[in-house]
Amino acid sequence: LLLEIDVFSRRGTDPAAAFLHRLIEKHEIGDAEFLVDAGGYLTALARHDLSGQLNYSDRNHVEKWVQTASMQIDRFHSFWRGSPTSARRWLRRFRHHYN
């Protein structure tokens, strides 16, 4: 289940923490287990008292999903000439379609 997706101009702990904060506001995720692959995401999870573990075993499933999402985004980007707001709107529609 894809609960949320967003676009950030940079990587790191602060954007991840902001993303998790919005996720907590919208969904009941206290019992969720997050699988991450470094990048400061464990720090962001700890800031919000969420459970997470560094895990590469499910990476093939995650990479397949990311590959699919990337293809969709590439198709979108090839004809899109808009703002970050319209990109976020498209990502919300993608999340709705994916679920």
Mean pLDDT of 33-40: 69
Distance CA 9, CA 49 (A): 25
First to last CA, the chain: 6
Mean pLDDT of 41-56: 77
The pLDDT of residue 79: 65
Residue 45 confidence (pLDDT) above 80: yes
3-state SS assignment for residue 95: helix
The pLDDT of residue 57: 59
Distance CA 12, CA 56 (A): 19
The pLDDT of residue 62: 66
Distance CA 28, CA 15 (A): 20
Query: Residue type for 55, please?
Result: N
Distance CA 2, CA 47 (A): 22
